[in-house]
Amino acid sequence: MAKNRLHLQSFEQISSLNSFDMALKSLIYPRIIAVETALKNYTLEEVLQDAGSPFLALVLFSWVSSRR
């Protein structure tokens, strides 16, 4: 038996909990994605600089340009 079981007694409580969960996710998710994207971009930039290959930078620039 689960120790952290919620003692919900009506469908309205379940529905309210679900609504709260969705609202919380909608507040947090965009910020998490922004941080993740920033970290990926920083990492990719560092990898390209460390590789020192203009070819890799050219390929990346072409790919990014085509996505705009």
In the chain, domain spans: 31-68
pLDDT for residue 19:
97
Block means of pLDDT (10 residues each) for the chain, length 68 residues? 82 96 96 94 82 72 78
Distance CA 20, CA 62 (A): 43
pTM across the whole model = 0.52
Contacts of 44 (CB under 8 A, 6+ apart): 60
